[in-house]
Amino acid sequence: MSDIQQHNLAKKFVNERKEQAIDLLVHNINQHQSSDSYWYEHSKVNVIWSESDEAYIFLNQKDYNNKTFDYYSPSDLDDGIRNELSDQDLIDFMIDEGNALVDYEEELEINKFLQKHNLERKKIDSICENKYKHNSWTVADLWHETTLEKYKDIADFKDINGLQIVFFNKKRGNYD
């Protein structure tokens, strides 16, 4: 995927799922709180963990002579992100995050296939959940034949409205 495509996908993700992007950023920051500070270029904000205060300091440096700061507890970090960071900072984070964009891109592709074959995601989710007791499936056309071959012992392949759906009957953890 080109840089432009990746940026456009991240922008679409943030526009459609801003709260999910914020949750991912909160998780990322909380995971590394004791060792990292984070600089957000577009907002000119530095986020620093203060162990002594057990809070995040959001140091706003837009104006070199008039720096301001706010404290946010780990449980209020999402508010700090909403109040202090721009959408462009979230877009940049999503590009760096990568995995969430790959999942999102696959979801968009699946939605195109479902729409083309006049299927609803809820119907496929329901079949998967009722028969396999978890919600793990994909569209076979998105995967290479060798990858599908690898999963054949843990998956059922069903044709629904002319679309080949792969239903996983076991968790994929050991196969990825």
For 65-106, how does the pLDDT look when each residue is reduced to its tens digit (9 = 90+)?
A: 778 899 999 999 999 999 999 999 999 999 998 888 888 988
Residue 110 placed within a domain: no
Q: Is 112 a member of any domain?
A: no
Report if residue 142 sits inside a domain. yes
Q: Could you tell me the residue range of the domain that residue 141 belongs to?
A: 119-168
Q: Are residues 11 and 93 in the same domain?
A: yes
**Do 93 and 7 reside in the same domain of the chain?**
yes
Q: How far is the C-alpha of 116 from the C-alpha of 18, rounded, in Å?
A: 27
pTM of the model: 0.73
Beta strands in 8-154 (DSSP E): 37-40, 45-50, 55-60, 68-72, 137-139
3-state secondary structure of 43: coil
Tally the domains of the chain: 2
